[in-house]
Amino acid sequence: MDVAGDGGAHDTISVHNFSEKVCEQLVHFHVMRLSGGFFLWVGAAPTLANLAVSMSSKFDAMPLSMLVMGDQSETAPNSLAQRLAKKTKKQVFVSYNLPVVNSNLALQVEDRIKKEMETHPQHF
Amino acid sequence: MYKLKTCQGGLTKGLTMSTTQAMIKSRQTEKEINGIRTQVVCTEFSDHIFVVLTQYGKIGTLVLVTPDSKSSDVSTPMFSTKVLMGKDEPLTHVCAKNLATPVSQEAGNRPVLLGLALKDSSIEAVKLMRDLIKSCQVW
């Protein structure tokens, strides 16, 4: 994906909010664009329950990902961060605050994020 | 096709589970401190305050600053710091505690997640950064 900006140190951090009804649930998104990466929060309630970090490595095709905060048994934040890092080639921070019971929800949420990346690349 | 709702309004404090407004409230500011451009973004969550303090435009080192559970017993609560990612050296802990303690206290003893990417960690600079964070209060 072609994202504008080379991540120079003089970029101003930008914050972007959007929301969407996914699987009959209103899901909120909050993106903070940083130099060379972004922070993405996804949730239905304003909690920060977990945080995953992912970035590309020259030693592996798949980006490295790690959960730095929250329940280690939760795989959703890690996998989302990893896929977004793969797509954007950036350092990605993800906090995923939705119930994990519905895997369809996670897929639709990811599609919605990718849609936003296409329509508003300047925010990522 | 998609109806975008760009919501800037904050939500009321507390644990409201269903708000139609923007879930997440954030504020940002920037200032030159000792000639170095310093950016701050504060974001409020119901269980955390997230503060990014950066002179590189990046999150940098992530530190979690948590008040002690027994803090209500004493007049000056104790805080523990944990480096979640990045440079785990004494100075990181000192800066994090210094910067995040007032935030946590003012935010009802919520833990503070702090992203630190500093070129200048001198005591004078840190004091000015504390004021800068304060000017970005979301809690």
State phi, psi for B98 to the nearest 5 degrees: -60, -40
pLDDT tens track for B81-90? 999 999 999 9
Cα separation, A59 vs A48, whole angstroms: 31
Distance from CA of A16 to the nearest CA of B (A): 8
The chain-wide mean pLDDT, for chain B, equals: 85
Q: Which CATH number fits domain A2-123: 3.40.50.300, 3.40.50.720, 3.30.930.10, 3.30.230.100?
A: 3.30.230.100
Domain boundaries, chain A: 2-123
What the block records as the tokens of A66 is 């790690």
pLDDT tens track for A66-110? 999 999 999 999 999 999 999 999 999 999 999 988 788 999 999
Q: Which residues of B touch A77 (CB under 8 A)?
A: none
Cβ-based neighbours of B123, under 8 Å, separated by 6 or more? none
Predicted structure pTM score: 0.86
Q: Which residues of B touch A112 (CB under 8 A)?
A: 2
